């Protein structure tokens, strides 16, 4: 059984093994109770705040073997393993091939923490949470938050766990943005950082796709200016938003290989709008799945936070900001050759910025035709790369 510190926070993971399967339970940390609300970057106050998280492995006596994993925009804290109540055939955590005993992020060596981001709907406080002032869901009354605010809540959680130094922070996509924000806000406690398939700030193209997704949601009559929790969800708008996003996560080659122009369960065109092609059926399926698991308002807030994100100037500063007790953070920047949402040239800009400020940085572009989501697909090259990087600093 896990033991707790004086604040009642678990300092060992709530995990066990069942027939070589990692079993994990979701945990929660609540803070910022009024009148001590959390002050966000916008100046707004929010409290209480709950952050859902999961932990794996055991925190060592020195409390310096912790690795924080930051998830992508629609992800959650369930990074690996299975829940006790999972039925046979249910999928494990979203990075199960990477995290676990003997894997790239080895839970026999490291204490892994994966928090759910602020503004999400997967256990952490967000627009769907109850506003204590009204007793109703926040909706658009939820204050706008930033990537920086997400990281601030994660730092509060890390502090509550009694951890004063992180062996590493790692994440892909929006998770990679959180990694970079960690490095500019709290460089003194981070030993190494692995931003994957990410950027220092959104391009106009990335902002444009996010805006189209937001408009799709807000154009749905059932969205009702964010006040839909007591009635029907804006399912059509949310599904279209997910379809738009999903296209940016793939690549031309991946879509050609997976779908081509093949028809779905028919031999000829319908000469209508029912969806003739496999790719149409696939996108509709992805959209409908998303409606069943995610909150439309959370999409609005998280995509806007990603659009606001910009650490170009802060990553470029030299001097004590990036010093870690006299030792600089070691970076491993990873990109994918077919990622057109956050192309390799943006990763190289990050590498150049870090090098100009004297940082210790390594870079790897992985050849893969799967597009932006390649980091979520099992790949021994990525597993070996990350495992070697973390273990080389152990």
Closest to 57 in 3D by CA, of 116, 14, 10:
14
**Whether the Cβ atoms of residue 81 and residue 15 lie closer than 8 Å to each other:** yes
Q: Which member of 149, 339, 373, 379 is catalytic?
A: 339
Closest to 44 in 3D by CA, of 141, 179, 125, 135:
141
Give the burial class of 104: count Cβ atoms within 10 A of its Cβ; 0-12 exposed, 13-18 middle, 19 or more buried.
buried
149 among known catalytic residues: no
372 among known catalytic residues: yes
Query: Residues in the chain, how many?
Result: 394
Q: What is d(CA 301, CA 147) in angstroms, rounded to the nearest whole number?
A: 11
If one counts every other C-beta atom within 10 angstroms of the C-beta of residue 378, the result is: 10
Q: What is d(CA 19, CA 389) in angstroms, rounded to the nearest whole number?
A: 29
Displacement of CA 385 from its chain's centroid (Å): 20
Q: Which member of 10, 96, 372, 373 is catalytic?
A: 372
Triad 313, 317, 319: Cα angle to 5°: 165
**Whether the Cβ atoms of residue 78 and residue 26 lie closer than 8 Å to each other:** yes
Q: Which member of 13, 129, 173, 335 is catalytic?
A: 173
If one counts every other C-beta atom within 10 angstroms of the C-beta of residue 327, the result is: 10
- Residue 25 CA neighbour count, 13 Å, CB half: 12
First vs last Cα of the chain: how many Å apart? 26
**Whether the Cβ atoms of residue 213 and residue 246 lie closer than 8 Å to each other:** no
Q: What is d(CA 267, CA 95) in angstroms, rounded to the nearest whole number?
A: 38
| Structural tokens at position 5 | 């510190």
29 among known catalytic residues: no
Cβ within 8 Å of residue 43, ≥6 positions away: none
Query: Which sequence positions are flagged as catalytic?
Result: 173, 339, 372
């Amino acid at each position: 059984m896990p033991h707790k510190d004086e604040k009642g926070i678990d300092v060992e993971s709530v995990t066990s093994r069942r027939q070589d399967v990692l079993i994990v339970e979701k945990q929660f940390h609540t803070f910022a109770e009024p009148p001590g609300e959390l002050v966000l970057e916008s100046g707004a106050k929010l409290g209480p705040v709950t952050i859902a998280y999961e932990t794996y492995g055991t925190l060592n006596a020195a409390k310096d073997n912790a690795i924080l994993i930051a998830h992508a925009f629609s992800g959650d804290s369930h990074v690996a393993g299975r829940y006790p109540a999972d039925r046979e055939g249910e999928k494990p955590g979203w990075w199960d091939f990477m995290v676990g005993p003997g894997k790239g992020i080895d839970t026999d060596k490291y204490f892994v923490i994966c928090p759910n981001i602020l503004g999400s709907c997967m256990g952490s406080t967000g627009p769907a949470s109850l506003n204590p002032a009204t007793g109703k869901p926040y909706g658009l009354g939820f204050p706008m938050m930033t990537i920086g605010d997400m990281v601030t809540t994660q730092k509060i959680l890390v502090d509550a766990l009694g951890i004063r130094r992180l062996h590493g922070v790692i994440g892909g996509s929006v998770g990679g943005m959180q990694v970079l924000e960690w490095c500019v806000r709290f460089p003194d406690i981070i030993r190494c950082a692995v931003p994957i398939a990410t950027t220092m700030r959104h391009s106009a193209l990335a902002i444009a796709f996010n805006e189209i997704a937001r408009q799709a949601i807000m154009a749905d009559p059932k969205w009702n200016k964010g006040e839909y929790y007591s009635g029907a969800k804006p399912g059509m708008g949310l599904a279209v938003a997910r379809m738009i996003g999903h296209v940016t996560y793939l690549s031309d080659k991946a879509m050609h290989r997976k779908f081509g122009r093949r028809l779905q369960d028919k031999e000829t065109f319908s000469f209508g709008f029912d969806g003739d092609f496999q790719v149409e059926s696939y996108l509709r399926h992805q959209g409908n799945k998303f409606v069943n698991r995610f909150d439309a308002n959370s999409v609005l807030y998280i995509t806007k936070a990603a659009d606001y994100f910009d650490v170009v100037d802060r990553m470029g500063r030299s001097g004590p900001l990036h010093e870690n007790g006299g030792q600089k953070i070691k970076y491993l920047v990873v990109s994918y050759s077919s990622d057109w949402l956050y192309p390799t040239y943006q990763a190289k800009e990050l590498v150049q910025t870090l090098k100009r400020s004297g940082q210790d940085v390594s870079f790897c572009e992985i050849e893969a035709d799967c597009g932006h989501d390649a980091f979520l697909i099992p790949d021994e090259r990525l597993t070996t790369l990350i495992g070697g990087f973390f273990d080389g600093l152990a």
